[in-house]
Amino acid sequence: MPESPIRKLVPFAEKAKENGINVFHLNIGQPDINSPEVALEAINNYNKKVVEYSHSAGFESYRKRLVKYYESKNILLSHEDLLITTGGSEALFFAMSSCLDIHEEVIIPEPFYANYNGFAKSANVKVRPISTSIKNGFKLPPVKEFEKLINTRTKAILICNPGNPTGYLYSEEELNKLKEIVVKHNLFLIADEVYREFAYDGLMHTSILNIEGLENNAIVIDSTSKRYSMCGIRIGCLISRNAHVISTSLKFAQARLSPPTFGQIAAQAALKTPKEYFDKVIAEYVSRRDLLVRKMNEIEGVICPKPSGAFYAIAELPVDDAENFCQWMLEKFSHEGITVMLAPAAGFYSNQVIGKRQVRIAYVLNHDLLSKAVDCIKHALQIYPNKL
């Protein structure tokens, strides 16, 4: 199993804190946004005498209310098309395990969420990366580049939309290009859409469930973690109109018995979250993004494309090795009593050479802290001994 590039430097951060350094965490997608009050109230008001298992597919009441949520996104489903999971992570593992046999292959545009590697290892599946470039903001490669990778072992394409770690938002035109490939070669298209709510600059998120002709091919991964800033309740879901995919995934769900009861209670209540909550959250993330991208690109030698969704950005730094720089910041550097923890981006690539000088930044801190964090990075780059 590969290490997590997001968490592997934690011991160095802990040591820095022991030494009295204030560590600003831009390495992990843990928002500082308050969870919805309706969700917290539902947990606090739980009054049953026994905390029971749910159905392995999740509470039917929750699945039926989720159907109403997706209907508001012009996605028509039955509650039997949904399987509640222990976070989006479990949904991804179920999807890979259900759709691919041992040593079969999934094509994933890189950089990609680092744990995709871990899920693939767990399922004995091979990842075939297809590279995108920071120079064009990580746009989808041409169809011909995908077709070069397709062989008899290829069974799926996996995308994250909007993207983690890049914040890239796929257009409807790009999704239709992917549709052509998966239909032509009879592949599954798995879309990790956990950041669907966070699309900026007037752009709209398009789900693969909205693309006609993909009814048997489309599998969507979703989660409450980021949408409602409730990462710890560990509730996600797997969605497909392909009944065979759902029935196969249910076997894996039965093996782990049921998703968390309290998490489902909170998730079901969160569906009542008013629109004003999301309006404020999105405005806050846009403001943070603009601050981060502006200040990072003001640093000499830094390249930081402007993301269109989620709350991450990839930045290329003028250093020989970004992981060494990140570790150095935690071990040997502080500015005015603070340092910053970043995620080395090499771990988000299969070909780690491509991301050797890049970092992922999660803009999950408020304006004041985020501004101080970037100033700290700027000062660190000025004195880093292995700067290019």
Distance CA 266, CA 277 (A): 16
Distances 59 to 52, 89, 193, 197, 237 between C-alpha atoms, Å: 11, 19, 22, 23, 12
Distance CA 225, CA 364 (A): 13
Torsion of the alpha carbons at 213, 240, 95 and 133, rounded to the nearest 10 = 50
In the chain, CATH 3.90.1150.10 sits at: 10-34+276-383
Distance CA 208, CA 240 (A): 10
CA max distance for the chain: 63
Would you call the peptide bond into 162 cis, given omega within 30 degrees of 0 as the criterion? yes
Q: How confident is the model at residue 46, as a pLDDT?
A: 95
Q: Please state the φ and ψ torsions of residue 219, each to the nearest 5 degrees.
A: -130, 125
- Number of CB atoms found within 10 A of residue 221's CB: 24
- Number of CB atoms found within 10 A of residue 204's CB: 8
Q: How confident is the model at residue 4, as a pLDDT?
A: 76
Helix (H) or strand (E) holding 358: strand 358-362
In the chain, CATH 3.40.640.10 sits at: 37-270
CB 317 within 8 A of CB 329: no
Helix (H) or strand (E) holding 192: strand 188-192
Dihedral sign computed on CA atoms, order 152, 89, 249, 257:
positive
Tens of pLDDT along the chain (388 residues)?
777 777 789 999 999 999 999 999 999 888 899 999 999 999 999 999 999 999 999 999 999 999 999 999 999 999 999 999 999 999 999 999 999 999 999 999 999 998 999 999 999 999 999 999 999 999 999 989 999 999 999 999 999 999 999 999 999 999 999 999 999 999 999 999 999 999 999 999 999 999 999 999 999 999 999 999 999 999 999 999 999 999 999 999 999 999 999 999 999 999 999 999 999 999 999 999 999 999 999 999 999 999 999 999 999 999 999 999 999 999 999 999 999 999 999 989 987 788 999 999 999 999 999 999 999 999 999 999 999 8
Q: What is the pTM of this model?
A: 0.95
The one-letter code for the residue type at 199 is: A
CB 228 within 8 A of CB 281: no
The one-letter code for the residue type at 282 is: I
**Class assignment of domain 10-34+276-383?**
alpha beta
CATH topology of domain 37-270: Aspartate Aminotransferase; domain 2 (3.40.640)
How far from the centroid of its chain's Cα atoms is residue 318's Cα? 26
Q: How confident is the model at residue 290, as a pLDDT?
A: 98
The one-letter code for the residue type at 275 is: K
Would you call the peptide bond into 36 cis, given omega within 30 degrees of 0 as the criterion? no
CA atoms within 13 Å, Cβ hemisphere of 41: 8
Helix (H) or strand (E) holding 239: strand 236-239
58: tokens are 């999740």
Helix (H) or strand (E) holding 361: strand 358-362
Q: How confident is the model at residue 303, as a pLDDT?
A: 97
